[in-house]
Structure formats: C-alpha cells, structure tokens
C-alpha cells in the first residue's frame, strides 16, 4: 500500500515538473509542455482509476500556477482520460507504441476541440499546429524512454 502511494506521488511530481518547468507560453492558447510525455512515460500506478487522478491533478495545479485557470476543468478531464487509457492499455498488454499513439491522437483531438470551444473555429489550424508538434515530440520521447527502460531492466 505504501509503495503504491509513493509511486503515485513520484508520478505526480514528475508530471508536475515536466508541465511547469518545461513549458512555452503561446498566448491565448495556453502553454505547450511535456506533460503528455510525462504521463505516457512516468505514470507508475497499476489501476486505471488511480491513474486518472495521478495524471489530472498535477496538470490542473500547473494550469492554476501558470495563470491559465480557464483551462483547469478541461485539463483535468483530458488528462484523466489520458491517464486512464495509458494504464488500461498497458495492463491489457497492448503494444506500447500503438497505445501511446492512440492516446496521443485522442488527447490532441480533445485539446483542439477545447480551443475551438473557447476561441471559435478560426483558431483550429493554429491550435492543431502547435499542439500536434508537442504531441509528436511527446510520443517519440515516450517511445524512446520505454526502449531505454527495457534496456536497463534487462541488464
């Protein structure tokens, strides 16, 4: 039990740090960060229901700290879905690379929908450009991190 709580706390700290420390302000559209990479790579809980909170809380707190309160509810829901799906698909022994690709594309779609809801459909291409760039980076880094983890575990 204590081990699971510690894993969840470490996951939350890592997700928070990758969200707050590594971010780029893009004006009205919020900020770009490696939160998705951290969720895909460092979510160390075994239950999808816990993963929802572990993924959603740090990003939501980061939204508040960074001054993007209008994104809080949306971030919480999107990251909860992302955390749930990452852990669920990993538990089902699905191909990890395919899992992060599916989850990444769904997360990207939801983020662009939120931007369109908040700012209108004129912002879609700009939002899609910025957020897909970060999602591609996150997916590639998550795949490389997984490969590195496996290499280290096999030694």
Cβ atoms < 10 Å from Cβ of 134: 22
* Res 28: pLDDT: 74
Structurally, at CATH architecture level, domain 2-150 sits in Orthogonal Bundle (1.10)
Calpha distance 119→26 (Å, rounded): 14
Whether residue 116 contacts residue 123, with contact meaning beta carbons closer than 8 Å, is answered with yes
* Res 14: pLDDT: 93
User: What residue spans define the domains of the chain?
Assistant: 2-150
Calpha distance 121→113 (Å, rounded): 9
* Res 117: pLDDT: 93
32 beta partners: 24
Residue 46 DSSP class: S
CA triple 46-52-57, angle to 5 deg: 120
pLDDT in tens, the chain (155 residues): 788 889 899 999 999 999 999 888 887 777 888 999 999 988 888 888 889 999 999 999 999 999 889 899 999 999 999 999 999 998 887 788 888 999 999 999 999 999 999 888 888 888 898 899 999 999 999 989 988 887 787 77
Whether residue 41 contacts residue 145, with contact meaning beta carbons closer than 8 Å, is answered with yes
Rounded to 10 degrees, what is the CA torsion of 16, 28, 111, 72? 50
Calpha distance 27→41 (Å, rounded): 27
Whether residue 58 contacts residue 12, with contact meaning beta carbons closer than 8 Å, is answered with yes
| 143 closest CA partner among 89, 101, 94 | 101
């Amino acid at each position: 039990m204590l081990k699971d709580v510690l894993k969840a706390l470490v996951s939350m700290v890592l997700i928070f740090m990758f969200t707050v420390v590594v971010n780029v302000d893009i004006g009205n559209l919020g900020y770009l960060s490696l939160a998705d990479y951290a969720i895909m790579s460092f979510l160390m809980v075994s239950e999808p229901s816990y993963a929802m909170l572990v993924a959603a809380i740090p990003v939501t707190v980061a939204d508040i700290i960074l001054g993007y309160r209008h994104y809080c509810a949306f971030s919480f829901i999107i990251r909860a879905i992302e955390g749930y799906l990452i852990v669920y698909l990993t538990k089902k022994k699905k191909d990890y690379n395919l899992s992060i690709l599916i989850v990444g594309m769904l997360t990207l779609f939801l983020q662009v929908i939120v931007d369109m809801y908040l700012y209108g459909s004129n912002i879609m291409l700009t939002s899609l450009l910025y957020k897909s760039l970060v999602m591609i980076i996150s997916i590639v880094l998550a795949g490389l991190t997984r490969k590195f983890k496996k290499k280290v575990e096999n030694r």
